[in-house]
Chains A and B, each alone.
Chain A
Amino acid sequence: MKLLEYQAKEVLSSLGIAIPPGRVARTPEEAAGACAELGPVAVKAQVPVGGRGKAGGIKLARSPEEARAAAAQIIGMDIKGFKVPLVYCESALEIEREIYLGFTVDRDARANILMLSAKGGMEIEQVAEESPESIARLYPNPWRGPLDFELAQLVYDAELGELARPLTQLIKKLYRAIPDLDAVTAEINPLVVTKKGDVIAGDAKLEIDENAMWRHKDLDVKYGSVLEGDPYEVEAKKRGLTYVSLGGDIGIIGNGAGLCMGTLDLVQRAGGRPANFCDIGGGAKAEVVENALAVILMNPDVKGVVMNVFGGITRGDEVAKGLVAARNNLKMKVPLVVRLSGTRADEGREILKQNGIEPGVSAWEAAQKIVQLTSTAGRA
């Protein structure tokens, strides 16, 4: 789960990290009120993607009137597919210098990595490319966390020795996001040193491991429903499906991420445009299959659906039963091509046939067939 900036900052604050004064505003009126209370503020769109500044999602407001106007412009705006649900009005900081501080999972090392650089700010990726040595790195032991001397080394490696005391304290606090919150990314960029010498989180990015949400139901309840994302993705999440909208007109269901991605590739290769990625995962039961079809058919652009199911932990007969029930329950009108094989696939194919659904043979044939059927439907 990707937290919005204000949510991430609330979390950082709860870990004891200093954040600038700020208020959430859901209406222009609330933004004006926040500015009246805080003085000059940055009015910032709350979306879980980078690049919102360039997209016009951050405006400075010196007066309540300006804050009202900025919020009116920003709320409801579309930034990279996300409709801005609210803005965060935050006091500007008197910046002396900007530092980069981030934790993430290093897939190659199969470990958490902590990175610190004196060259914080927007250009950090360029810094990583041009002078990787200016980003100090530490792989903390996952059982006990970073030790004091390791953090001291990190801070001196980053040539931030004059800030050793406040930085090591702050990094220890940020590190709690890993064991306590199952963070897979926790980033403060910039970490601002103010003219007064305070160290404050200028921005915050926090992503919690989806696989660990069962340990953090409180976060899900508090923050999970704020964002108005893609309506189909929202519905799919409610139904516990892995679903991504892609903007085309052919619905796609597969079991397993690899097979599902492979099916996308094949549909695209056959000249079609996938409407979505929908992985029903291992152990897919009748109810899951019906849920997947129901979400896909919510989208009026969908002209046909191709389903690619290969057995293993998934049982073909269960998939087929679910498919027949779903088609009947949903009164499905668009073409459906099903490719089914693997464990108990013979029984599954028999069930499909008995109910008037012809199973496809190979995935490539199924992809070509659905593209052909949907393009015919388009001409009709």
Chain B
Amino acid sequence: MSILLDASTKVIVQGITGREGTFHAEQMQALGTKVVGGTSPGKGATTHLAVPVFNTVADAVKATGATASGIFVPPPFAADAIMEAAAAGITLIVCITEGIPIQDMIKVKDYLRGHPQARLIGPNCPGLITPGAAKIGIIPQSITRPGHVGLVSRSGTLTYEVATALSAAGLGQSTIVGIGGDPVLGLTFRDVVDLFEKDPATTHLVVIGEIGGSDEEHAAEVLARGTRLKTVAFISGRTAPEGKRMGHAGAIISGNRGTAKSKEEAFRKAGVAVAETTDQIVDLLK
């Protein structure tokens, strides 16, 4: 069992003929992900990586019955790609693209309110992997192993770091979800924690947050209400200098939330163990 994605999920890759799209679609196939096609405007009716290429997501969904999509298109086109997927009925949209303008994402979030079936992961994220079964995105399969730890993270590379340590210690993972580091994003910590809570195959949980925003605090509030998952949290950026502030608008709406201290305190208050280095995560989880 797992959350969001398993070996039967039919996946398309938007931007499958590009350099990154090609490389990572191949990696996804190598793990056994059911990649049923891809899109690349103008290249419809061709074949790439032994799967059909379509001009649009709607065409791809109609022909293949895909329910999930991985997006590997450049920033100027990525917001439109997300909305296209939602409009075509895709239920799991994973956007890897880094550098999408914030205002584009704010419009996407508003658009998605009209498509409640669509769950968005990212953008600016490594995607998700259910070890041994399937992945959408760029998390290397080699550092994962199947098991019962749910891992959710805002950072891409820190996720790999922690997954490697867990795998080396024999702690396999049910699903690893990189939610992305952008201020305006799809699923949040709270959403993913809820999904893990409902997944019988997940018994442990690792939350990797970082400074800024208050998504970690919100996840801590959920965990404080009681959880069956043995949970460890880690916050990166404990020693990062405060950003050079400008204007008051940010402070008016966020107050004192957002610091590593505030996040760690929120987790401790919820009864969650807090690791001070990534190396401590494994010990605290055991």
A-to-B contact residues, CB < 8 Å: 2, 48-50, 80-81, 100, 102-108, 110-113, 115, 124-125, 128-129, 135, 141-143, 178-179, 182, 184-185, 187, 189, 205, 207, 209, 211-212, 214-215, 244, 246, 254-259, 261-262, 264-266, 268-269, 274, 277, 281-283, 310-313, 341-343, 362-364
Contacts and interface: CB of A to CB of B under 8 A. Distances in A.
Interface stretch (B53-61, B191-199, B206-214): B206-214
21 contacts: A104-B249, A107-B183, A110-B106, A115-B252, A125-B248, A128-B251, A143-B110, A185-B249, A187-B248, A205-B247, A209-B103, A212-B103, A212-B104, A255-B157, A258-B159, A258-B181, A258-B210, A264-B239, A274-B239, A311-B160, A312-B126
B236 A258 contact: yes
Contact of B156 (A125, A207, A312, A364): A312
B253 A104 contact: yes
Nearest to B162: A262
Contacts of B139: 312
Contact of B102 (A49, A212, A281): A212
Interface stretch (B9-17, B40-48, B93-101, B225-233): B93-101
A258 B247 contact: no
A258 B101 contact: no
A257 B155 contact: yes
Given A142-B106, A364-B279, A125 B252 contact: yes
A259 B101 contact: no
Interface in B76-100: 76, 96, 98-100
A138 B252 CA distance: 14
Contacts of A283: 20
A49 B210 contact: no
B153 interface: yes
Contacts of B138: 282, 312-313
Contacts of A2: 246
Contacts of A310: 157, 160-161
Given A111-B109, A264-B240, A312-B138, A258 B246 contact: no
B278 A262 contact: yes
Interface in B135-159: 138-140, 142-143, 153-159
A99 B240 CA distance: 34
A187 B252 CA distance: 12
Contacts of A48: 244, 246
Contact of B106 (A105, A115, A125): A105
A266 B277 contact: yes
Contact of B101 (A129, A215, A281): A215
Interface in B159-185: 159-161, 164, 181, 183-185
B241 interface: yes
B116 interface: no
Contacts of A246: 241
Contact of A184 (B102, B126, B155): B102
A313 B24 CA distance: 8
B237 interface: yes
A108 B101 contact: no
A209 B249 CA distance: 15
B106 A261 contact: no
A213 to B, nearest CB: 9
Given A257-B155, A262-B158, A363-B161, A342 B252 contact: no
B215 to A, nearest CB: 8
Given A262-B161, A312-B126, A80 B244 contact: yes
A49 B255 CA distance: 18
B219 to A, nearest CB: 13
Given A259-B155, A261-B155, A262-B278, 15 more contacts: A49-B244, A104-B250, A107-B183, A108-B214, A179-B103, A189-B248, A205-B247, A212-B104, A214-B75, A246-B241, A257-B155, A281-B98, A313-B126, A343-B142, A363-B161
